[in-house]
Chains A and B, each alone.
Chain A
């Protein structure tokens, strides 16, 4: 069978992946460096009879996405740093009300307007902690154009399966770079569709906090009339101030993600078997890391890499296990140090070093190699 291979930009691959996943609704607001996702979907979605909306602001964009998702849509929005800051209100709403949606964040650096056109990985902690209150989130960090496409499909699947917002964190490098993509046939990839609940409307509760199973979200307008509120609610969906209901509801938002971490986690290990130095790198930074590891190995330094693809929930278990045998860990990031704290939290007696470049330039293999050399001497 001939493969369908195309040269594509990262943002284009996300749009392509969304359509393959069955995405039928986009609402967004123009922002660099994610605008291509909107531009491409503004052409693709109408051509297949689906909805594309450009809203009046970032908040409205996610509001419309959630409204559509409550109607049964597989809905997506795309933005970047400051836009994601605005979207946090509705990311919290989506978490609280368990509404599936996919949010693309082509990350920037710096607070405020920051670096709109230059690469950075400024939003990793925002993805986890951006909205108020306790909740779990799924975030994915693809490191290539090809992976952007496949991870977008997986993001939709996880969103529907766990009824949660799923963030994809790329950056200007991945978003704007052109690379080879193998476009899958719809039948060759797993696609989880929105379904009606398996119970009649009179028996349907939109939430279930105790069975351990995620209740399907009934699309509105199909006979399942229920209530959705951002207030803490019981399993019927109506607000509650009963202490046991509150506790169960809060636990559930964490449990449904953390207790299913085996299904949600995804990572790559590169040359770690005999490694003395472990790099923990994600997104575009992992590309430079891979090259730096090759350089280090030709110089006789045994380095390897652990690359989280699902970055939230953080792969605590893997990092903790690896840190038991590899005593030096390097975390290169295009920010002032964000994931390094997660690594430190899990590092069992290993020394954890950061390499932080926030100049608007990608971290080069040379920079990482130099740091590896330095660490190897300690």
Chain B
């Protein structure tokens, strides 16, 4: 089968390259998948808004030719909600790291999910604060090491997907930067979903995380993603012991036709508008 080569240049702001990501970083794979997914979803560049917080992943918007807002640490979803509510015709995507989305931005995360507002949040989950040198994040596995858990992590991590679902998100999925094809497919699905969609993408920071946890090369970390990922369907027949140290991938939760906040707001306006 001959595939037509995807023209990434159509969406890249080449004058802002090279990017800041380290050689071997998984973020570039996610960026490429996102561009293919946006292209497939059929949105024009003018219709797409990308907001991001602070951190390595959050530098993504600077490199892509959409309406892009690199906001404050943890608050990208609040800007996304503002512009989406004001201009509902826009397709709004938020890029966030694990620390950005779930530590400093945790409150905004659960409330965006609770509202089920039509946004797509992509969490670049590398278990660490890479930009600041590898401190432990709220998704870092138990017993692993970081610059601020030199004796091993004793804080249980968040499961991004369980949290999103429990808080009210209506599309929840997980993939990895190893599963590039699946990643693109899930992104298309998330973008096409009406409601709050959360895609947790396990990606590698070999520099800040891997190096301290016996995976110092990108190859080792990509292998980790490949080996530890368990498709949701296979996980059904596995014991908790089998699943220990691994993570489920797939579209883990989807509920269609749920009341979506932006749509509900404007529907409500119709009932109260006065001249």
What is A's interface to B at a CB cutoff of 8 Å?
A: 24-25, 27, 46-49, 51, 53, 55-57, 59-73, 75, 89-90, 93, 220-223, 225-231, 238-239
Contacts and interface: CB of A to CB of B under 8 A. Distances in A.
Q: Is the interface of B mostly helix, strand, loop or mixed?
A: helix
Given A67-B80, A238-B62, A72 B86 contact: yes
Contact of B71 (A24, A47, A63): A63
Interface in B50-105: 51, 61-62, 65-72, 75, 77-87, 89-90
A63 B16 contact: no
6 contacts: A53-B82, A63-B72, A67-B80, A71-B83, A71-B87, A220-B49
A223 B46 contact: yes
Contacts of B69: 67, 70, 220, 227-229
Contacts of A56: 107-108, 111
A67 B26 CA distance: 28
Interface of B: 13, 15-16, 45-47, 49, 51, 61-62, 65-72, 75, 77-87, 89-90, 107-108, 111, 265, 268-269, 272-274
B269 A46 contact: yes
Contacts of B65: 225
Contacts of A70: 67, 69, 79, 82-83
Given A63-B81, A67-B84, 16 more contacts: A25-B85, A27-B82, A47-B273, A51-B85, A60-B78, A66-B71, A66-B82, A67-B69, A220-B90, A222-B46, A225-B65, A225-B68, A227-B61, A227-B70, A228-B70, A238-B15
A53 B71 CA distance: 19
A121 B79 CA distance: 30
A51 B111 contact: no
A71 B90 contact: yes
User: Of residues A49, A61, A67, which shows the largest number of chain B Cβ atoms within 10 Å of its Cβ?
Assistant: A67
A230 B55 CA distance: 12
Contact of A230 (B45, B46, B66, B71): B71
Q: Which 5 A-B pairs have the closest CB atoms?
A: A67-B82, A63-B78, A67-B79, A64-B82, A229-B70
Given A59-B75, A228-B68, A47 B46 contact: no
User: Of residues A27, A222, A225, A238, which shows the largest number of chain B Cβ atoms within 10 Å of its Cβ?
Assistant: A225
A111 to B, nearest CB: 23
A49 B273 contact: yes
B61 to A, nearest CB: 7
Contacts of A221: 46-47, 49, 67, 83, 87, 89-90
A330 B61 CA distance: 53
B75 A60 contact: yes
Contacts of A90: 72, 75
User: Of residues A47, A63, A66, A68, which shows the largest number of chain B Cβ atoms within 10 Å of its Cβ?
Assistant: A63
Contacts of B16: 227, 238
A64 B82 CA distance: 4
Nearest to A69: B82
B76 to A, nearest CB: 8
Contacts of A69: 82
Given A73-B86, A93-B71, A220-B49, A57 B79 contact: no
A378 to B, nearest CB: 50
A65 B82 contact: yes
Contacts of B62: 227, 229, 238-239
Nearest to B16: A238
Contacts of A230: 70-72
A225 B51 contact: no
